[in-house]
Structure 1
Amino acid sequence: MTIRPPAALSYAFAALCPLAATLPGTAFAQAADAPDSAGQARPVALSEQIEIVTVTAQKRKEDPNKVAMSISAISGAQLQAQHVNDITDLTRTVPNISFTAATGNGGAGPGTSNIEIRGISSGAGAATVGIYLGDVSLTVGNVYTMGAVEPKFFDIDRVEVLRGPQATLYGASSMGGTIKFVPNEPDLAEREFSTYAEASSLEGGSAGYLANAVANIPLVRDELALRIGVQAQRAGGFIDQVGNGGSVLAGNINKVDDQEVRIALKWKPTAALTVTPSVYYQKVDARDIAAFNIELPRYQAQKQVREPSKDILQTANVLVGWDLGAADLTSSTSHFRRKFDRTQNGSAYNSYSLSTFLTSTEDGGTAPPELIEAVAALPSAVYLNNRVRQLAQELRLASKPYDPARSPLTWLGGLYVSKQHTDINENDPIFGVNDTFAQFGFSSSDPDILPGANAGSFPGDNAFSGTFHYTERQSSVFGELNYYFTPSLHATVGARYLKGSSSLDQRNSLYLAGAGNTGSSRLSSTAFLPKYALTWEVDPAHTVYTTAAKGFRLGGSNVFVPPTTCAPDLEANGLEQGPATYAPDSLWSYEVGSKSRFLNNRLSINADVFYVKWTNIQQGVYLPTCAYTYNANAGDAVSKGVEFDIKARPFAGLTLSASGGYVKAELSNDEGIRNGVIGAVQGAQVQGVPKYNAAVSAQYNFAAFGDRSAFVAGGVQWVGSSKGSLNPEQTDYQRPAYHTVDLSAGLTLDRYKLSLFVKNALDDDTIIQHPQVASIVQGYRLMPRSIGMSVAARF
C-alpha cells in the first residue's frame, strides 16, 4: 500500500543565489579578463549597458522586450557565476515561481517536486508547468510518486521562464507557464576547452563539490563540430539518523550525488541546412530525504528504514533546420527515458495498518495484544520502481521576420505528436511479519486471526504488490499569425487544436491490496486553445502589450482504491468505490504589461499585472483511514497578481537589481469540500503558493592589483508565507515567510577566474515546511550556510 501523507513536501532547500543571477550585467564573465591571441588575459572594458539575452519563447530568436508575455531569461554564464545549481535556487530569484513536493510521495526527495507559476499549483493529475530541455519536452504528470524532471544547470546557454499559459506553442500542461533549459550549441568555427570546479562546506554538515569540463571541437571548419561535456556534483548533507536511544547511526544522510554527460554534433552541409543531433544523460543519487523530526534534537531523523532514491534521465534529439527561402522549416525528433527508483519508510503505515486488522483477545478475538503490538512495531519499506519513456515529433514552418517592404503578416504553423509510457512497480515488504506470527504460535495465512488471509498473503514478507502502466497520447495542430497594422503596432492570434488520450492498466495483489484489482480505464479528450495579443512598440525602447490565453491539461486515470480497507472514507465522500478517472481542467489568463529601457539601456523596467480564472481543478482527495489518495475535479480558483523586474547600471562598474511578484490565489467556490477535499472552501488559499517573493542585489566590478578584473556582489531574497495544505488541521497548514542573504567576490588571474561565495550567510534555519507523517511531525529547512570557492578556466 502506498504511503499517502497529506502534505508531503520538497526534499531540500538549497541556499539562495543573489538576484544578480538574473541580471545579464552581473555574470562572472564580466569580472574576468578575455584572452588575447596568445591566450593571455587582458582587461575587459566594462560595458555601461545591460546585456540583452535573446529568447526563443515563440519558437524563433527574439529580443524579450518585443514579446507579448512576461519572461525571465538567465544566461548560463550568470547561472555559473552565481553558483545556481538547481531549480530551487531559481524559484527564489524569479518572480512568482514556487515548488512543492508531489502528492503522495511519502516524504520529500529529489525528483518529487512540482513547479508552479503564478499560483497555478496542483499536486494532483497532470503537471501545470511545461519543462523543456532544448526542443525535448520533459513534462510528466504527477503520477503516483513522481514530480517534475529537473535537468541540472550544465552547459546551458540560458534558462527561459515563460509566465502565463503557453498552450498555443507548447501544448497541454503549460497552463501556468513553461521553463526552457536551452543548451549551448556546437560552434562550427572556434575550438574551446573550459573547466569549472567549486568546493564548499555546510555549517554543521558535510562538504560538497562540483566539477565539469566542456570541449568544443570543429571537425570541419564552418561545416561540422562536436561539443562534449561531463560533470560530477555532490550536495552536502546535514541530517543525522539516530536510534531509539539517541545514538547516531549515520551522519549527514541527505547528501546527494549527481553526474551528467552531454554530447552534441552540429552539421551544416549547406548554407540552408543544419542538422544537430544531441544526447544527454543525468543520474541523481540521493542517500536519503532531507526531513528531520521536530521533536528530536537539532536535525536528527529517527526512522526504521532509510529512504534513498536514484533518478536517471536520458534524452536524445535530432533537430533539423532548413531555410526554404520564403520560410524556415524545423523538425524536432526526440526521445527521453526516466528511470526513478526510490524507497520510502512504510513502517508507520503498512505495519500499523496490518495490526489494525488483528482483533485482540480482550475484544473477543484471537490475537493476543502482544502480537498486535509486535506487528505494529515491525519495519516496512515501500519499494517503487518508476519508468517513463516518450517519443515525440514536431514539425513547424515559420515565415521570415517582419519586413514592412514584404508583407504585413508573419506566421508560424506546426504539427506535434507524442506517446508517453509510464510503468510503476510497487512492493511493500513488512520485514519479519511471517516470523513474528510464528513466534506467537500463529500463522499469517490463518483467516481466523487475520481476516481474509490465505497462503499467498505475505510471500517473502511482502504485504502489497502493484503494477501500473499508464499510456498518454497527444496530437496537435497549432499556429500563430501576426498582423502589423503599422511597424510599431501588431496583433497576434494563435490557436492549438489538441486531441489526447490516457489509459491505465493495473494489477494489485497480496494482503494490503484488500480484494485486489486487475482492471483498465480509458479517457479521451479534445481542446481548442486560443491566444490573443496586442503589442505596441511605443518606440524602439518601450513596449506595452496585452494578452488573453487559454491553458489546459489532460485528465487521467486513478489507481485502485481498496473498497474494503477504504470503505469508511469512501462512504464519507458518498462513494462505493474510488472513481476510475478524472476530467481535464482549464483556465483563462489575462495580462497587461510594459517593457522599457531608459538611458541608452542603462536602466530597464518590466512590469505586468495578471488575472487567471481556473475551472474544474484536478485535486487529490486524501483518505485518512487507509492512507490512499485518488484524484477528482473539485472546484474553481482565481489567481491575480503583479510582477516587476528592474535592472540598473548607474556607471560601468556597478549593477543594481530588484525584482518581485505578488500573487493572491484562492478557491472561488465550495465544490472541493463537497468532493471530499478537506478545507477546499471558497476563499481558501491555494496550497504551496507564497504570497510574494522578492530579491535585491548589487554587484561592483573593478580593477585590482593593477589590471586584474575583480568583483564583489551581494543579494537578499524574501519568500512570503504560504499554506502547505487546504486542511487547517494539518501541521503544515501555515508555512512561515523567510529570507536569505548571499555574498560573493572574485578575481581573474591570467586564464583563471577565482571566486569565494557564501550562501545563506546568516544561516537562517527557519523550518519552512513541517508536514506530519503518521504520528511524526517532520521539518524541512533551507540548506545551512555554505562557504565555498570556485575556479574556472578557458583554453
Structure 2
Amino acid sequence: MRYGYSCTLTKTLLLSATALAVVVGAPTLAVAQEQASQLDEIIVTGTKRDSTIFEVPFSINAQTQEDIQRSGAVTLEDLSRNVAGLTIQNLGPGQSQVAVRGVSAGQVVRDQPGVKEQVGVYLDESVISLSLFTPDIDLFDLNRVETLRGPQGTLFGSGSVGGTIRYITNQPQLGVNEGVIEGNLNAVDLQDMGGYLKGAINMPVGETVAVRAVGYYTEYGGFIDALREGGGRDRNVNGGSRAGGRFAVLFQPNPNISITPRIVYQEIRADGFNRQEAFNLFANPNTTTRPPITLREREQYLLLDESFADDTMLADITATFGLGVVELTSVTTYIDRNIRLDRDASTLTGSVSVDLGFPESAVLLPSTLVDTTDLEQFTQELRLSSNDDGPFQWLLGAFYSKVDRLYNQRLPTPGYDAVTDAELGAGTSAAVANGFGPDSPYNARLPYDIEQFAFFGEGSVILDRWTLTAGGRFYDFSEERRFTSGGLFANGDDQSDETSSSGFTPRVLVSYEASDSVIVNAQVAQGFRLGGVNDPLNLPLCSPEDEAIFGSFQSYEDETLWNYEIGLKARSSRFTFNTAAFYTDINDLQTTLDAGSCSSRVVFNVPKAHTMGVEGELWAEVMEGLEIGVSGSWVNAEFDSTVVDGTGAVIGGIRKGNRLPSVPEFQISLNATYSYEVSEDADGYVSISFQHVGSRYTQASDQENNPRSFVSGLPFGGASGNDPTVVNLELPRYDLVNVSVGLQMDNGVDIIAYGNNIFDDDALLSFDRERGGRARLGFTVGQPRTVGVTVRKTF
C-alpha cells in the first residue's frame, strides 16, 4: 500500500513538472542545448557557499538590486508578487507574515508572542525573524533578496519549515571608491505625499580596510480616513516613516582572512493602520440614539489615535579564515529590539461593558490596548567547510541562540475603576488588580527565556554529471516563561510553564546535469517548527460554550513535515527557466484560531495536512531590447484531518479538504521591459508588470458558513444588536498593474517615473475581527494608486 502511494506521488510530481515545462518553457527548451550560457550569472549563498542559481540543487529565486529598482519595490510584500510560491500576509506596518509553498497556519496576531515563525528571515548571515514582528528591512543597497523554497532546517534551523528569506546586502569592497544617492517623491491615492532620501558610500582605508555606510529616511503617505465622535474626519491616518542605516568595516589583511563587524539600526513609526472597517459598535447603520454611520472604502472609526513603533539594533561580526583546503566561518550576532503597538480598543472594552450592563457613558470610555515587546537575542554560529574543487564538498557547523523576551499588554482606560466600583461594588477593581496599576481592566506580563543548541552538516559527492548531497541537523530547544495577568477582564493568573524539544532533521538531494544548459534535481527534506504553550483564556469574557471548547488547548507540539520535490533548470544566452513540482506532508500543523467570544486566540495541532503544487520562473530576451519575465505558482494546500469538539462539531474550520489559510491557490506575475537608445550618452526603458494574486482566507474557520452574518448581540446606541453584518470572508483575488519609465545616463544619473496599482485596486489582504466580531469587523487593505519620481546618482 505504501509503495503504491509513493509511485502515485512520484508520477504526480513528474507530470506536474513536465506540464509546466511544456506550457511555459517548451518553445525555448531546444535552445538550451547550446553550449555554456553567456548570461551574467547571479551568485547566491543559499547553500552556505558561493554558487550560481543554476548550480543550486533545489528551488531558489534571487531578486537582484536591478530587479528591485526597476520594479519599484520598497517592501518584501512588493517583491513577493514576483516570486513564485512566496506569499506575504500584511497585517499592518512591520507586521507581515511570510508563507512559502502554502505552508501556513493562518493569522498570528499581536497577542500570541509564543508562536514561532514558519519562514526563517536572515539579514546576510544573521537570523532576524520573530514570528509576527519580523523586521521590515529597507531594500536600499541590497545586492539581492534570496527566497529558498521548501524546508531549510538542515542549514538554517527552526523557523525555516516552509522556506527561508535572505536579505543580502552589498558588502565593503577593498580598493573601490563608489557611492549612490537616491531621492523620491510620490503621491498616494493622488492625495497624501510621501518620499525618501537614501545614500550609500564605499571607501577604502589603505590596502586592507574598507568601509561601507548606508543611511535612509522614508516618509510614507497615508490612505485611510478615520471618522471621529461628533462627525469629524482625520485624513490619511496611517502614514508613517522609516529611518535607519548600516555601517560595516571590512578587515582583510590577506586573501585568506576576512573580518567584517557591522552595526545596523532602524526605526519604524506609523500613525495608524491600514484597516478598512465593515462594522463598528460605535459606528454602524443600525443606531438610533447615535448618528447612524455606514463606513465606506478606506474608512475606519476611532475614539483614540493609534500608532506603531519598532526600534531595532543589530550588531554582528562575520569572520572567515582560509585554512588551506578548509575554511572556518564565525557569525556572532546581537539584537536589541523594542516594539510598541497602541491600538484603539474602545470597542473591545465597550463591548464587555455592554455585557456587564454598564451605562452608555462607561461604554464610550476611550480605551487603548498597548502591546510592548522588549527583545534581546544572541546567536553564535561556527562553520567548517571544504575549500577546494575536489569531488567531495562538505560543511559542518554548530549553532547557539539565547533569547530574552518580555511581552507586556495593558488596557489603559481612564475612569474605568470608578465605573467598575460603582456598578459591581466598592473595592472590586483593587480586588482583581493582582498587583497591576489602576484603570486598566486587562493586564498581562510574559517574560520568555528561550535557548537552543544545534549541530548540522552537509556533504556532496560529485560523480561525472551526478551530484548527491546529504545532510542533517540535530537540535535541542528549551523555553521557560511566566504568565501573570490582572484586571477585571483577566483571570488573575500567575503560572510558570516550560517546554522543550529535541530531534534530527535530514535532507537528501540528487542533481543530474543533462547538458551544460539543463539540470534536473530531486529533493527529500524534513522541516520542523518548535511548539509552545498557549496563554490561559480570558475566562471573564468567555461564554460557557467557548470555555468548554477552547479551555483544554494548553500546549502544542512541534510541527514537522516532509517535502518531496523535483525540479528542472535550463538556460541559454537568451533565456533562463526554472520549475519545480513538490508535495509536502505535514504532521501536527500548528493552527491558530479565535477562541470564540473570549477575546483570546489559541494554537493547537492538526494531525495531518498537505501542500502540493507547481512553480515556475522564466526570463527571456525575445528580441533586441525586449525582455520578458513570467513567474507563477499553483498550490493545493488542504487539511487532511478533521478536528471536532465534544459535541462532534468541527472546530475552527479544521475539516478535511478545507484549504490552509492565507495562501492563494494561484499567483502569477508578468513583466516586460523594453530598452532603447535615447542618445549617445543616454538609454531609456519602459517597464510594465501585471501581478495576480488569487483568493485566500485569513483563518481556516473563515471558509465555514461563508458569507457569514455577524451579529454582535450587544444593544447599544439604540441598535438591538441583532442586526446582521454580512461579510464575505473569502479575500477576493486582486490584480495590480505597475508601469515605470526610466532614463539612464552615462554620467551616472537615473530618472524613473512610475505608477503602481494604476487601476487603483482595493486589495483586501486579511480580515480583522475584534472580540470574535462582536465589537469590530474590518480588513487590512493594500496601498492604492501611487505615482512618483525617483532620481538616482551613482559616482
- TM-score, normalization by structure 2: 0.86
Give aligned-pair identity as a percent.
Answer: 27
Q: In structure 2, how many angstroms separate the alpha carbons of the residues matched to 1:675 and 1:434?
A: 39
Alpha carbons of 1:503 and 1:675: their partners in 2 closer, same or farther (altered >3 Å)? farther
- The 5 Å alignment of 1:374-773 reads 374-403=361-390, 408-436=391-419, 442=422, 446=426, 459-486=437-464, 488-514=465-491, 516-566=492-542, 568-569=544-545, 571-573=547-549, 577=551, 579-598=553-572, 601-671=573-643, 677-727=651-701, 728-729=704-705, 731=727, 733-749=729-745, 750-773=747-770
Partners of 1:445 and 1:456 within 8 A in 2: no
The counterpart of 2:121, out of the listed 131, 147, 159, is: 131
Q: In structure 2, how many angstroms separate the alpha carbons of the residues matched to 1:286 and 1:732?
A: 29
The counterpart of 1:263, out of the listed 247, 256, 266, is: 247
Measure how far apart 1:357 and its partner are: 3.3
Measured against aligned partners, the alpha-carbon deviations of 1:234-255 in whole angstroms (never above 9, x if no partner) come to 221011111245431x211011
Partners of 1:458 and 1:511 within 8 A in 2: no
Match of 2:597, SS state, is coil
Measured against aligned partners, the alpha-carbon deviations of 1:486-530 in whole angstroms (never above 9, x if no partner) come to 2x101111100111111211211222213x111110011111100
Match of 2:700, SS state, is coil
Measure how far apart 1:111 and its partner are: 2.2
In terms of mean alpha carbon deviation, does 48-57 or 518-527 score higher?
48-57
User: Which amino acid in structure 2 is aligned with residue 120 of structure 1?
Assistant: V
Q: In structure 1, how many angstroms separate the alpha carbons of the residues matched to 2:424 and 2:431?
A: 7
Match of 2:147, SS state, is strand
2:151 matched to 1:165? yes
Match of 1:375, SS state, is helix
Match of 1:636, SS state, is strand
- The 5 Å alignment of 1:178-257 reads 178-221=164-207, 223-248=208-233, 250-257=234-241
Q: In structure 1, how many angstroms separate the alpha carbons of the residues matched to 2:449 and 2:249?
A: 32
Q: In structure 2, how many angstroms separate the alpha carbons of the residues matched to 1:148 and 1:675?
A: 35
User: Which amino acid in structure 2 is aligned with residue 794 of structure 1?
Assistant: T
Q: In structure 1, how many angstroms separate the alpha carbons of the residues matched to 2:679 and 2:461?
A: 56
Partners of 1:737 and 1:768 within 8 A in 2: no
Measured against aligned partners, the alpha-carbon deviations of 1:324-380 in whole angstroms (never above 9, x if no partner) come to 00111100011112211011221122232244234xxxxxxxxxxxx4333222221
Q: In structure 2, how many angstroms separate the alpha carbons of the residues matched to 1:772 and 1:559?
A: 19
Determine the structure 1 residue equivalent to 2:29. none
Determine the structure 1 residue equivalent to 2:333. 334
User: Which amino acid in structure 1 is aligned with residue 447 of structure 2?
Assistant: H
Match of 1:596, SS state, is strand
Alpha carbons of 1:325 and 1:497: their partners in 2 closer, same or farther (altered >3 Å)? same
Measure how far apart 1:286 and its partner are: 0.5
Partners of 2:749 and 2:791 within 8 A in 1: yes
Determine the structure 2 residue equivalent to 1:275. 259
Partners of 2:507 and 2:526 within 8 A in 1: yes
- The 5 Å alignment of 1:17-36 reads none
Match of 1:58, SS state, is coil
Q: In structure 1, how many angstroms separate the alpha carbons of the residues matched to 2:449 and 2:577?
A: 45
2:40 matched to 1:51? yes
Alpha carbons of 1:67 and 1:120: their partners in 2 closer, same or farther (altered >3 Å)? same
Partners of 1:635 and 1:672 within 8 A in 2: no
The counterpart of 2:138, out of the listed 139, 149, 152, is: 152
Measure how far apart 1:457 and its partner are: 9.3
In terms of mean alpha carbon deviation, does 466-475 or 297-306 score higher?
297-306
Measured against aligned partners, the alpha-carbon deviations of 1:697-722 in whole angstroms (never above 9, x if no partner) come to 11111111344111111111111111
Larger RCO of the pair (alpha carbons < 8 Å, separation 6+)? 1
Determine the structure 2 residue equivalent to 1:98. 87
Measured against aligned partners, the alpha-carbon deviations of 1:173-225 in whole angstroms (never above 9, x if no partner) come to 1010000001111011111121011111112430110211111110112x101
Measure how far apart 1:139 and its partner are: 2.1
Q: In structure 2, how many angstroms separate the alpha carbons of the residues matched to 1:281 and 1:395?
A: 25
Q: In structure 1, how many angstroms separate the alpha carbons of the residues matched to 2:311 and 2:432?
A: 38
User: Which amino acid in structure 1 is aligned with residue 439 of structure 2?
Assistant: D
- The 5 Å alignment of 1:277-316 reads 277-294=261-278, 295-316=294-315
Q: In structure 2, how many angstroms separate the alpha carbons of the residues matched to 1:676 and 1:553?
A: 25
Determine the structure 2 residue equivalent to 1:35. none
Q: In structure 2, how many angstroms separate the alpha carbons of the residues matched to 1:766 and 1:126?
A: 27
Q: In structure 1, how many angstroms separate the alpha carbons of the residues matched to 2:172 and 2:316?
A: 14
Determine the structure 2 residue equivalent to 1:8. none
Measured against aligned partners, the alpha-carbon deviations of 1:367-423 in whole angstroms (never above 9, x if no partner) come to xxxx433322222111111112210010001112433xxxx3111110001011211
User: Which amino acid in structure 2 is aligned with residue 127 of structure 1?
Assistant: E
Q: In structure 1, how many angstroms separate the alpha carbons of the residues matched to 2:72 and 2:224?
A: 23
Alpha carbons of 1:147 and 1:161: their partners in 2 closer, same or farther (altered >3 Å)? same
Match of 1:350, SS state, is helix
In terms of mean alpha carbon deviation, does 613-622 or 693-702 score higher?
613-622
Determine the structure 1 residue equivalent to 2:53. 64
Determine the structure 2 residue equivalent to 1:367. none
Measured against aligned partners, the alpha-carbon deviations of 1:741-772 in whole angstroms (never above 9, x if no partner) come to 11111113433111111111112224454444
Q: In structure 1, how many angstroms separate the alpha carbons of the residues matched to 2:432 and 2:331?
A: 54
User: Which amino acid in structure 1 is aligned with residue 468 of structure 2?
Assistant: A
Count of paired positions? 709
Determine the structure 2 residue equivalent to 1:13. none
Partners of 1:352 and 1:375 within 8 A in 2: no
Match of 1:462, SS state, is coil
Q: In structure 2, how many angstroms separate the alpha carbons of the residues matched to 1:717 and 1:345?
A: 34
Match of 1:763, SS state, is coil
Measure how far apart 1:724 and its partner are: 2.0
Partners of 2:434 and 2:486 within 8 A in 1: no
Match of 2:80, SS state, is helix
Partners of 2:539 and 2:598 within 8 A in 1: no
Q: In structure 2, how many angstroms separate the alpha carbons of the residues matched to 1:425 and 1:473?
A: 21
Q: In structure 2, how many angstroms separate the alpha carbons of the residues matched to 1:529 and 1:760?
A: 42
User: Which amino acid in structure 1 is aligned with residue 364 of structure 2?
Assistant: A
Alpha carbons of 1:239 and 1:401: their partners in 2 closer, same or farther (altered >3 Å)? same
Can you give the 5+ residue segments of structure 2 that lack an aligned partner in the other structure?
1-36, 109-114, 279-293, 709-726
Determine the structure 2 residue equivalent to 1:30. none
Partners of 1:738 and 1:768 within 8 A in 2: no
Q: In structure 2, how many angstroms separate the alpha carbons of the residues matched to 1:383 and 1:772?
A: 17
Alpha carbons of 1:569 and 1:263: their partners in 2 closer, same or farther (altered >3 Å)? farther
